[in-house]
Amino acid sequence: MSIYDTLNNQQKEAVFYTEGPLLILAGAGSGKTRVLTHRIAYLIEECGVNPWNILAITFTNKAAGEMRERVDKIVGFGSDSVWVSTFHSTCVRILRRYIDRLGYDTNFTIYDTDDSKSVMKDVLRSLDLDPKVHKEKAYLGAVSKAKDELISPEEYLLNAGADYKKQLVGKAYMEYQKALKKNNALDFDDLIVKTVELFRTHADVLDYYQDRFRYIMVDEYQDTNTAQFQFVSLLARKYENLCVVGDDDQSIYKFRGANIANILNFEKVFPEAKVIKLEQNYRSTGNILCAANAVIANNIGRKDKRLWTEEDDGDGIYFRQFYNAYEEAEYVAEQIRKSVRQSDSQYKDHAILYRTNAQSRIYEEQFIRDNIPYRLIGGVNFYARKEIKDLLSYLKTIDNGVDDLAVRRIINVPKRGIGLTTLDKVQRFANEHDMSFFEVLEHADGITELGRSAAKLKNFALLIQSFRAKAEELSLTELMEDILEVTGYRKELEAEGTDEADARLENIDELISKIASFEENCVDEPATLSGFLEEVALVADIDNLEEEDNRVILMTIHSAKGLEFPYVYLGGMEDGIFPGYMSITAENPREEIEEERRLCYVAIPRAMKKLTITAARARMIRGENQFNPISRFVKEIPSYYLEKGCTVKKEKTEEEPKTQNYWERKKTFREKPKAVQQFAVTKATNLDYCEGDRVRHMKFGVGTVLAITEGGRDYEVSVDFDNFGVKKMFASFAKLQKVSS
């Protein structure tokens, strides 16, 4: 029996179509990774393609690792020559070889987000811009968007015209790139941009890689931005054996620069392209898929497709509405405990998905009270912790001495008696003489302006030089241990003797384990310091999700993409939360809400067996109770797919429990939650306004009454406020006053 006999007809067609452009529209759980790996196998084993000529691009290190593992299993000799990596990793490898053509040294540093923030902060300071008004994060966001669209600083300034804000961004962008160039550094966006620039300006380099990669496959094509599209298009231009796999219905990264037009217009760019749809789902039950199909069918900007399965319909979608977010969290915690207690499920089989990170707080507090183990995905990244950034800066300085940022971070860590005044003198001298920060340190004993501090600065430079000499002889693990020993970094933490210091020491031990693991995995090529720093720079938080970790997973829907869980809880399903208020009130609400609907479509089939959707009538936001209707996405699911329970549990209004700090919450770990304060609601006997009247609210100002609905406890009033849009509120709380017309 052939390995291809296990594929369905559409999957076989996608595998066997090898020549010319191919668009594979792969729905959630349709086996796209299986298709890609079998396609690689078919090219090598049946078509006689040299593995050297195959490139497969993914978006995450985890996906690349999984694909590599699968290819190795089904392909015999030569599979290790197939180039399987992320966009960024692919570009790094190309730039390491040819970036000198663009005026950089091949030993460049890759800056992470924090590094980029520090550079931009210095740039804004040099432009005399008030940091309280001009935030580096906003400027970096604008620069990143420009790079996604391949807009250079010069072009940005030209397009700014008379727009003062854009002019400032353009100037900052220009200076930011100069600073990166001076430090021989690239940020993440530059990895793609510089590779495209290299291809466009050096035909011989492009020609080499076009011949090298005659067969190109790109996963998650719907998430590509303009720069990534150009990179792929340039590579594929010669042979046009480009296979892209994606799902326009799962395009959810517009905020990161993803351009859905790349997949929607693929056939316009490649008129000869063949289109194959993978619609059979192997993950979820029939009812879950029907619910997903029903929601996404409301989008206009999409390619027609419909998920189906040969599996049973399974349970209906459980929908529960509660009075407030606390009851919602209580219910979810209770259901998880019951599931683990009464069935063979484990905590790790359950995932709670939500629209924004802020929604995790209530679940966390509830789980702490109920002693339910959980893991929050999207917290502080391991590599963003102080001690880790310190030690990585030592490694960066040893590897690339012109990285001013890394040098400045560690020059006085641990304390060496080098103050800010001295550092400013060094920086000033470096700027005036067009030298790197470290070059000034190397010649400090000959610079009179540095005075008595010169000796300390020179000693630090000698320390780094000694580490560089040792790096030639020692393994990376031994080098890290030597840094910790010689600098006294570890001893200083041990002497501190606090819980915080112990936690930092544990993190350092974990870093050493990471280094050792990296060295262990480098079988076919040497474990270099540059290679390790590249891997660290390219690691995503979600890549660290351990399958054997038996904890409930809390994460945003964006983080959950590509994952699956037997039991999924989709919380906060209210208009104003999901879809968000900003999408509803946007200048182009249809486009924004379609993006939100795609996100909902991504969330639903994360569930394999059971999906529970929850909502709250009242939710505390920015210190105020807001009353939002059930999400329109829930209403788009036909009622016969829903199993509804009771909505409001209690006929009373509750205040939010007082916020506890972490240690207070720890005390209540095994305690029953305290009863919250109750207050009465007095229903208004009559209202002095009616539908169509103009009314005034003490916060939202003047608006028009759209509807008045009588409930058991109070009147619910919908008002379209002039400056705040439509709000729903209870009459007794709102205290609306009629405005004379």
Long-range contacts of 100-108 (CB under 8 A, 24+ apart): 101/198, 101/201, 101/202, 101/205, 102/194, 102/197, 102/198, 102/201, 103/181, 104/181, 104/184, 104/186, 104/194, 105/184, 105/402, 107/184, 107/399, 107/400, 107/530, 108/184, 108/185, 108/186, 108/400
Cβ–Cβ < 8 Å for 339, 517 = no
Question: Concatenated DSSP letters for 411-426?
Answer: TTSS--S--HHHHHHH
Q: Strand 737-738 and strand 694-697: pairing? A: antiparallel
Cβ–Cβ < 8 Å for 245, 220 = yes
Candidate list 12, 18, 33, 668, residue with the active-site label: 33
The question of whether 220 is a catalytic residue gets the answer yes
Q: In this structure, what token pair is assigned to residue 130? A: 């008030």
Cβ–Cβ < 8 Å for 609, 309 = no
Cβ–Cβ < 8 Å for 294, 642 = no
Candidate list 136, 187, 190, 219, residue with the active-site label: 219
Cis, bond preceding 414 (omega within 30 deg of 0):
yes
Candidate list 606, 610, 632, 727, residue with the active-site label: 606
Cβ–Cβ < 8 Å for 410, 463 = no
HEC readout, 84-142: EEEHHHHHHHHHHHHHHHHCCCCCCEECCHHHHHHHHHHHHHHCCCCCCCCCHHHHHHH
Which of helix, strand or coil describes residue 302?
Answer: coil
Cβ–Cβ < 8 Å for 283, 250 = no
Q: How far apart are the first and last CA of the chain?
A: 82
Locus of tokens 């089989």 = 349
How far, rounded to the nearest angstrom, does the alpha carbon of residue 707 sit from its chain's CA centroid?
Answer: 40
Instruction: List Cβ neighbours of 115 (8 Å cut-off, separation of 6 or more).
Output: 185, 187, 405
Query: What's the rounded Cα separation, in Å, for the pair 735 and 606?
Result: 43
How many Å is the Cα radius of gyration of the chain?
29
Cβ–Cβ < 8 Å for 59, 92 = no
Query: What's the rounded Cα separation, in Å, for the pair 169 and 139?
Result: 6
Q: Strand 607-621 and strand 317-324: pairing? A: parallel
Q: Strand 565-570 and strand 607-621: pairing? A: parallel
The question of whether 606 is a catalytic residue gets the answer yes
Q: Bin 725: left if φ > 0, else alpha if -120 < ψ < 50, else beta.
A: left
How far, rounded to the nearest angstrom, does the alpha carbon of residue 237 sit from its chain's CA centroid?
Answer: 30
The question of whether 33 is a catalytic residue gets the answer yes
Which of helix, strand or coil describes residue 298?
Answer: coil
Cβ–Cβ < 8 Å for 228, 192 = yes
The question of whether 283 is a catalytic residue gets the answer no
Identify which of 366, 352, 340 has the alpha carbon closest to the alpha carbon of residue 552.
Answer: 352
How far, rounded to the nearest angstrom, does the alpha carbon of residue 278 sit from its chain's CA centroid?
Answer: 26
Q: How many CB atoms lie within 10 A of CB 121?
A: 17
How far, rounded to the nearest angstrom, does the alpha carbon of residue 353 sit from its chain's CA centroid?
Answer: 15
Helical (H) or strand (E) element with 393: helix 386-399
The question of whether 334 is a catalytic residue gets the answer no
Query: What's the rounded Cα separation, in Å, for the pair 354 and 351?
Result: 10
Candidate list 10, 32, 112, 619, residue with the active-site label: 32
Identify which of 278, 284, 256 has the alpha carbon closest to the alpha carbon of residue 595.
Answer: 256
Candidate list 11, 60, 90, 250, residue with the active-site label: 250
The question of whether 305 is a catalytic residue gets the answer no
Candidate list 115, 148, 220, 595, residue with the active-site label: 220
Question: 376 has which bridge partners?
Answer: 554
User: Which active-site residues does the annotation give?
Assistant: 32-33, 219-220, 250, 606
